Structure 1
Amino acid sequence: MLDESDNWGRWGHDDERGALNLLTPEVVAAAAGCVREGRVLELSLPIRGATSSPAPTTVPHLRGRPLPQHFMSVDGGDYAAGTRAVGAGLKMADDALVVTPHGTTTHMDALCHMWSGDRLYNGHSADRVRSYGAGRCGIDKAGPVVARGVLFDIPRLKGVPHLAVDDRIGPDELQACLDEAGVELRPGDVAVVRTGWPLVWQSEGPEGYWAGQPGLSADGGRWLAARDVCVVAADNAAIGGLNARQLADEDLADDLHMILLWRHGVYLAEMLWLEELAEAGRAEFLFVAAPLRIEGGTASPINPIAVL
């Protein structure tokens, strides 16, 4: 099914920020009205360096992706260097971190992450994406996200701890979540979709997690884009579902990254941890996330938070 709709040109032909343009001061101020308790929940997985031996078996990630590398550039064995650096009698530790966000950490995709043909989102030329960074639509163009978050807790709707590997979430299930909570989507909302799939890593280990993944269907993505969400965030690795080869089965027209990122400029936040948020039972909340200002980056690690 070919999706002909898009947001190209909607915010000007030079636009590189996409649906985040929906976050006007009025929309942000209204989102702040969701805060009732002042309770803050982190929605990210930990960054646990692969140089720590248990890391590959303790943090969900896609098979074969390079895990984060965390080094102590000045550690307990380097106190002499630390003393010289900061003065007599003082100690110092320092870090070095190498992260490839896609598939290994909680992160936000930039609009330059995926495209078709020779054009990025909004018609920008794809030849500006090079090894030194993307000259158009990099993650540095996004800026902070402060918006109303709306939780679509699909496992709760179905009465299961997590979805099955081949489940694909469509418009009917998304609407049912809203109906049950008595909430309507508004332009500029962040749609937060829970599949519960990270729990499989805990219960069945990496092989169970790598057997595939549930996620949004193409029509589910179109439904969200038509309602002007600015971000789709999920606790799976690719927003849409994956097969056992960790690839999407959809063709190009139905690929969620093409529908949301490329056509509509809707950002994707992947590999969130949503269990405490689900336990809180709040369908709407203040969602805050700030990608790093990596010039020309295709993504950035984020630590999204929900303020209840």
Structure 2
Amino acid sequence: MSTYDELGRMADFPAGQVVKAASMIRTGTVVSLAGVRFPGMPLFPGHPPFQVLNYRTPRGIRATGAQPWGPVNDVGLGYMAEYLMASSHSGTHVDALAHMTIGEDMHWYGGGNPDEHLSDFGPMVGDASHLPPFFTRGVLVDVPGHRGVQSLEAGEPVDVDEVKEILAAQRVEVRPWDVVLFRTGYLSWWPDAEQLAAHRTAGPDISVARWLLEQGVVAAGSDTETFEVQPAPDPGPEGNPQPVHNALLIENGVYILESVDLEEIARRKVYEFCFVALPLKIRGATGSMVDPVAIY
């Protein structure tokens, strides 16, 4: 297994970048970039619903005569515990390198393929157990803020020329090792399921993906469930429905974050910040729910 690249662009991440990111913190202000997860929350149609199910309750312990601490409990001590039944791609999350496959051989980044590396308990190469921590510079590209609208319309693409124009107006540049986050305004409708469905899914097109690769970023994300614009305006000669995922995640090991809540950081007009996200290391999972923060 060690012969496979399981870190992608983060494999060569320099320790000095952490120091640079930390030096961006001036006021100590922390802004959460994740929303609350709850049963019935809107999700991408291809994912199972998010559920929180009680497993143990203080009333249940008493009713059944359970003795989790043994026979002595004269103070009536109880506790609550629950099952979480959810996709690792629920709410704000990062895709593991094994999340997307392509081709007749169904391969994923780093040489993984189902014939050799897919067990009954998930992928054994490029799974979430190898997701790295992210502590680096973050950049916000506020598309609707630049256009002067609440949100982009359904299926509206963002191309590289507009991204460059926005960054120039924000007086921010993209540098190697950055995480670049694109706001479409999609989550300004949260959690109105009808409005969310009516605005699904604007985002960066393939020209942006190619530019991000040239800039040397380690990850990119957006406030939508698919990151890239859907349907793809340029699926290429092979008819790839998600060419941006293919270019970033499968071909180059650049991580993709989705459903990142960028509303508050955009309201504050903070366009560069220290970005921190710590994925859960779960063997066999193809992504991880995260609660990232922007610190400035």
TM bucket, shorter chain: 0.7 to 0.9
Written as runs of structure 1 = structure 2, the 5 A alignment for 1:100-115 is: 100-102=87-89, 104-115=90-101
27, 30, 34: which is aligned to 2:20?
30
Q: State the shift of 1:298 in Å.
A: 0.7
Per-residue CA deviations over 1:194-237 (Å, capped at 9, x if unaligned) read 111122345xx323322331011111111112211111111001
For residue 220 of structure 2, what is the aligned residue in structure 1? 232
After superposition, what is the alpha-carbon deviation per residue over 1:108-151, rounded to whole angstroms, capped at 9, x for unaligned?
10111112222321333342123311111111112211111000
Provide the C-alpha distance between the structure 2 equivalents of 1:123 and 1:168, rounded to a whole number of angstroms: 31
CA-CA distance at 1:73 after TM superposition: 1.5
Determine the structure 1 residue equivalent to 2:5: 15
1:233-275 C-alpha deviation (Å, 9 max, x unpaired)? 11001111224xxx89733286111011001100111111111
Aligned residue pairs: how many?
A: 283
> 1:295 corresponds to which residue?
283
Does the 8 Å CA contact 2:4/2:111 hold for their aligned counterparts? no
What TM-score do the two structures reach when normalised by structure 1?
0.85
2:197 equivalent to 1:214: no
- Which residue identity is paired with 2:111? G
d(CA) in 1 for partners of 2:233, 2:288: 22
RMSD, aligned α-carbons? 2.3
Change (3 A) 1:192 1:262: same
What corresponds to 1:39 in structure 2? Answer: 29
SS of residue paired to 1:306? strand
The equivalent of 1:139 in structure 2 is 128
Is 2:179–2:275's contact at 8 Å kept on the other side of the alignment? yes
Of all paired residues, the percent bearing the same amino acid is: 31
Report the counterpart of residue 67 of structure 2 in structure 1.
Answer: 84
After superposition, residues 1-308 of structure 1 pair within 5 angstroms as 14-49=4-39, 56=40, 59-63=41-45, 65-80=47-62, 84-86=67-69, 87-89=73-75, 90-102=77-89, 104-117=90-103, 118=105, 119-127=107-115, 128-202=117-191, 205-211=192-198, 212-243=200-231, 250=235, 251-252=239-240, 255-308=243-296
Residue 92 of structure 1 deviates from its aligned partner by: 1.2
Secondary structure of 1:240's partner?
A: coil
Deviations 1:47-103 (A, max 9, x none): 102xxxxxx3xx33223632111012122422526983354312211121111133x
Q: Report the Cα distance in structure 2 between the residues aligned to 1:22 and 1:233, rounded to whole angstroms.
A: 20
The 2-side partners of 1:213 and 1:302 are apart by 21
8 Å contact from structure 2 (residues 223, 260) kept in 1: yes
Letter of the 2:135 partner, please give it: V
CA distance in 2, matches of 1:249, 1:94: 47
Please tell me the residue identity of whatever aligns with 1:94: A
Q: Is the 8 A contact 1:20 1:142 kept in 2?
A: no
**Residue type at the aligned position of 1:306:** A
Shift of 1:295: 0.8
Gaps of 5+ in 1: 1-11, 50-55
- Give the alignment's TM-score, normalised by structure 2: 0.88
Question: Helix, strand or coil for the counterpart of 1:85?
Answer: coil
SS at match of 1:220: helix
Q: Is the Cα–Cα contact under 8 Å of residues 113 and 299 in structure 1 kept in the other structure?
A: yes
Contact 1:23 1:147 in 2 (8 A): no
| Stretch of structure 1 that moved more, 25-34 or 84-93 | 84-93
Please identify runs of 4+ aligned residues in structure 1 that moved more than 6 A: none
Change (3 A) 1:88 1:201: same
Q: Is the 8 A contact 2:187 2:263 kept in 1?
A: no
Quickly say closer, same or farther: Cα 1:276–1:83, change in 2 above 3 A: farther
Residue aligned with 2:52, SS = strand
- Distance in 2 (CA, whole Å) between partners of 1:216 and 1:16 is 25
Compared CA separation, residues 170 and 23, structure 1 to 2 (3 A): same
Stretch deviating more after TM superposition (207-216 or 159-168)? 207-216
